[in-house]
Amino acid sequence: MSYPFIKALVGVLATVGLYSVLYKENKFYRFFEHVFLGLATGWTIFVLWAEVLKPSWYEKMMGTPSVNGGPATDGQWAYILLLPLGLMAYFVFSKKHNWMSRIPIGIILGLWSGQQVQVWFNTYGPQIKGAMKPILPSAFSSFTVPANASAVDVYPSQALSNLLYIVTLLSVLSYFLFSFEVKNKAIIKFNMLGRYLLMIGFGAIFGSTVMTRFTLLIDRMYFIWIEFFQQQVLGRG
């Protein structure tokens, strides 16, 4: 048995083991669940040291020799001060000293809060600008947008789409007017429209989610039947 065959066989056993929970909870499933968790944890610990703590903290503190003609670096002792600061976070488990964990958490929260104005504008600024759409047509030579259309012209089909967009936007926003009681019948109906449009949106999101889940199952079936059975066992392809 070759190494690729053994590797694929273990993958097939793990896949079948994890899917066996669909029938009922069993030891085969439990075994592979623990193997998976153990592997993921071990890998994470290694990567956190090798790719994060070692280059970003330990080597900066201790210094590094010249490698492949690159510059050697001096160690900077001040990096040691990060260790007690980081360890303070673990005092969250101590009833007596948990106040110490608030120091690193406070620093992180302060840094994060200070950046949120820029983050908010980067995220929503272009979306607010993009929501300003013309709802009146300016070109009538064709109902739909012709191939050589100018970017400034608004054709009737575009205006209609934009109108639908604006109605959806405003009705959905009006649905979230919770600060005061809405008594106007027209606004109540407009709210209701927003609610139905939200439901349509959630339906579309649910549909996408289902498609993703099916794709993941199809991939596992491809692994079992084509990559293992056809390619490794039968030796085709």
By CB under 8 A, name the binding residues for another protein. 22-23, 40, 43-44, 47-48, 51-52, 55-56, 59-60, 67-71, 112, 115, 119, 122-123, 126-127, 129-131, 145, 147-149, 201, 204-205, 208-212, 214-222, 224-226
Nearer to another protein, 105 or 119 (CB): 119
Least separation, in Å, of the C-beta of 29 and another protein? 14
Contacts 24+ apart (CB under 8 A), 135-143: 135/159, 135/162, 135/163, 135/166
Least separation, in Å, of the C-beta of 56 and another protein? 6
Nearer to another protein, 60 or 102 (CB): 60
Nearer to another protein, 99 or 196 (CB): 196
Asked if 210 and 221 touch (Cβ cutoff 8 Å), the reply is: no
Length of the chain: 237
Least separation, in Å, of the C-beta of 23 and another protein? 6
Asked if 157 and 145 touch (Cβ cutoff 8 Å), the reply is: yes
Contacts 24+ apart (CB under 8 A), 190-198: 193/167, 194/168, 194/170, 197/168, 197/171, 197/172, 198/172
Nearer to another protein, 48 or 188 (CB): 48
